[in-house]
Copies of this chain bind each other. A is one copy, B any other.
């Protein structure tokens, strides 16, 4: 039996690359076995929460898309960067210049965006034009104390037609151009994982993270004391199993296999 499968009371699931691959006309394709795997987790008595860096849509729209693909998931179960960033902006009196996907903008409708005193970037995809990145750069360089907030720091993700650059690459571009360090909201920020644990009411050592990103999912969770298993789906590449900084607690072919092992462990009296 896998060591990581014992003593688990709560499961944190990454979404993109674990539940489905995004892209295409339907917005994505479920990874084989993952719809059933989520249902089996629900019936197992384990606590369940989804922990995503998705910022190409509001949390509501994103969940609707997943429901249409066949997943049993509700908005309240999802920990996502935009709502966390919105709270942070309000707490600190920050007025963002947004460089985000069009579909994410409504998440910030209630936030004052006049006379920006910070720049907030998400996975803007096609909105990462030269003109838009330049504009964000100029806002930052015009601030006495530049503040750059990044919704995640992923390097790339997988869509149905291939790997795509994620927000982290553009975060690095702005960090370099403006000589600043971004504040990251989302994985791998420990604060983000902690809030997901709080919402489930469990301690780190009782939780298991399942993700396809060796740094942001696995390394991030482990830095909070959460065990973490890497799936060989989504953006996974074989080299991830020999990463210089992060070693997962386990490696599985996909979510379905992770759930098989987890439930077998419970069945055996663990």
A residues apposed to B, CB below 8 Å: 124-131, 133-134, 137-138, 141, 155-156, 162-166, 168-170, 172-179
- B129 lies within 8 A of A165 (CB): no
Copies of this chain, whole number: 2
Select one of B134, B138, B164 contacting A134, CB under 8 A. Answer: B164
CA distance A175 to B168 in the complex (A): 11
CB distance from A155 to the nearest CB of B (A): 5
CB distance from A144 to the nearest CB of B (A): 11
Select one of B165, B172, B174 contacting A175, CB under 8 A. Answer: B172
- A165 lies within 8 A of B125 (CB): no
Closest to A243 in B: B179
- B165 lies within 8 A of A173 (CB): yes
CA distance A130 to B165 in the complex (A): 8
Interface pairs (18), CB distance under 8 Å:
A126-B130, A127-B130, A129-B130, A130-B165, A133-B165, A137-B156, A137-B163, A137-B169, A138-B162, A141-B156, A155-B176, A155-B177, A155-B178, A165-B177, A166-B177, A169-B173, A169-B174, A172-B172
CA distance A23 to B238 in the complex (A): 47
CB distance from A17 to the nearest CB of B (A): 15
For A125, what are the chain B residues with a Cβ–Cβ distance below 8 Å?
130
| 4 new A-B contacts at CB < 8 Å, known A129-B129, A137-B165, A169-B176 | A129-B130, A155-B178, A165-B173, A173-B173
CA distance A163 to B156 in the complex (A): 28
For A168, what are the chain B residues with a Cβ–Cβ distance below 8 Å?
176-177
Q: A133-B165, A163-B141, A165-B133 are in contact. Are A156 and B177 (CB under 8 A)?
A: yes
- 6 shortest interchain CB distances as A-B pairs: A169-B173, A172-B176, A169-B177, A128-B130, A173-B173, A172-B172
